[in-house]
Amino acid sequence: MNTVKFRLTGVIELRELKELGLLPPEERLKKGPVAILECPEQIPCNICVPYCGLKAIKMDKITDIPRVDWDKCTGCGLCVAVCPGLAAFVVDLSRNDYDYVTLPHEFLPVPRLGETVTLLNRRGECVGEGVVVRLWEKNKTRVVTVRVPKGLGLEVRAIWVEKKQ
């Protein structure tokens, strides 16, 4: 298992997620919204498991890497809301015009529906602009779905919201 690089940098790369088997296969990605749990650290946490009503997340031990059954997952986003590590995301790469990313947002200001926000990758680097299309909250964690340019669905993992006047 190749876990060395992200442990050194603190930022997991797409290639590493793929090597760890944490990315859904292409065919599943094309079908519609699906969860990606970017959680390879094997920390003692399994909160996402009981919250998934479809039992789509599997862990035998609390220190296992959580594995999503991508055929069961409907991309509801509940795991995004409850993950204390902000490591759960839902991506929808099934549309021809845009990708959609559902992510946790615990910073202020809170974006507004329809607002254009700055898109950040896993390193916190700006990769473009997107539009907030859905916004909800559970346990004080805001869950934001953002429409992003096609091709960025596997890159965008946070948003930056301009302060309102």
**Given the rule CB under 6 A, which residues bind ligand SF4?**
35, 37, 39, 45-48, 52, 54, 56-57, 66, 68, 73-79, 83, 85, 87-88, 90
Phi, psi of 120, rounded to the nearest 5 degrees: -120, 145
Identify which of residues 69 and 162 has a Cβ nearer to ligand SF4 in the complex.
69
Amino acid letter at 15? R
DSSP of 19-71, one letter per residue?
Answer: HTT-S--HHHHTTS-EEEE---S--S--THHHH-TT--EE-SSTTSPPEE-TT
Identify which of residues 128 and 135 has a Cβ nearer to ligand SF4 in the complex.
135
CA 142 to chain centroid, in Å, comes to: 13
CB 18 within 8 A of CB 12: no
Identify which of residues 90 and 117 has a Cβ nearer to ligand SF4 in the complex.
90
* Integer Cα distance of 89 and 138 in angstroms: 15
β partners of residue 120? 126, 158
Identify which of residues 19 and 129 has a Cβ nearer to ligand SF4 in the complex.
19
- Taking the complex as a whole, the smallest distance from the CB of residue 126 to ligand SF4 amounts, in Å, to 25
